[in-house]
Amino acid sequence: MHITVVGTGYVGLVTGAALADFGLNVSCVDSDEQKIEALSSGRMPFYEIGLKELVNRNLANGRLTFSTDLEAAVRASLTVFIAVGTPDLPDGTPNLTQVDSVVAALAECMDDYKVVVTKSTVPVGTARRIQRLLTGKQRRPVEFVVVSNPEFLREGSAVEDFMRPNRVVIGAESDRAVAIVKDIYRPLYLNETPFVITSLETAELIKYACNAFLATKISFINEMANLCEKVGADVHHVARAMGLDKRIGPKFLHPGPGFGGSCFPKDLVALARTGRQLEAPQRLAEVVMEINRRQKERVFSRIKAELGGLERKRIGLLGLAFKPNTDDIREAPAIDICRRLLEAGARIQAYDPVAMPNSRKVLNDKNVVYCPDAYAAAAGVDALWIATEWNEFRNINLNRIKSVMQAPVLFDSRNVFDPEKVRALGFRYFGTGRPGPPH
Binding interface with ligand UDX (CB under 6 A): 6-12, 30-32, 35, 83-86, 98, 101-102, 120-121, 151-155, 211, 214, 218, 252-254, 256, 259-264, 322-323
CB of residue 322 to ligand UDX, shortest distance in Å: 4
CB nearer to ligand UDX: give 159 or 405. 159
**Position with the least CB separation from ligand UDX:** 9
Report the nearest approach of ligand UDX to the CB of residue 416 (Å).
Answer: 12
Main-chain phi, psi angles of 144, to 5 degrees = -155, 165
Choice between 261 and 419, CB closer to ligand UDX: 261
- Cβ of residue 188: shortest distance to ligand UDX, in angstroms? 16
Cα→Cα distances 154→13, 35, 210, 357, 393, Å: 13, 22, 12, 21, 21
Annotate 236-275 with b (16+ C-beta within 10 A) or e (fewer).
Answer: bebbeebbeeeeeeeebbbbbbbbbbbbbbbbbbbbbbbb
- From the candidates 28, 109, 210, 263, give the one annotated as an active-site residue: 263
Note if 338 is an active site residue: no
Do 387 and 319 contact (CB within 8 A), yes or no? yes
Give the nearer residue to ligand UDX in terms of CB position, either 151 or 382: 151
Q: How many CB atoms lie within 10 A of CB 357?
A: 12
Nearer to ligand UDX by Cβ, of 263 and 396: the residue is 263
**In the complex, minimum distance from the CB of residue 260 to ligand UDX, in angstroms, rounded to a whole number:** 4
160-166 contact pairs (CB < 8 A, 24+): 160/49, 160/50, 162/14, 162/15, 162/18, 163/18, 163/21, 164/191, 164/193, 165/193, 166/193, 166/194
DSSP state of 367: T
Instruction: Report, in Å, the least distance between residue 406 CB and ligand UDX.
Output: 29
Q: Of 77 and 262, which has the nearer Cβ to ligand UDX?
A: 262
- SS3 assignment, position 409: strand
Q: Could you give the residue numbers annotated as active site?
A: 263
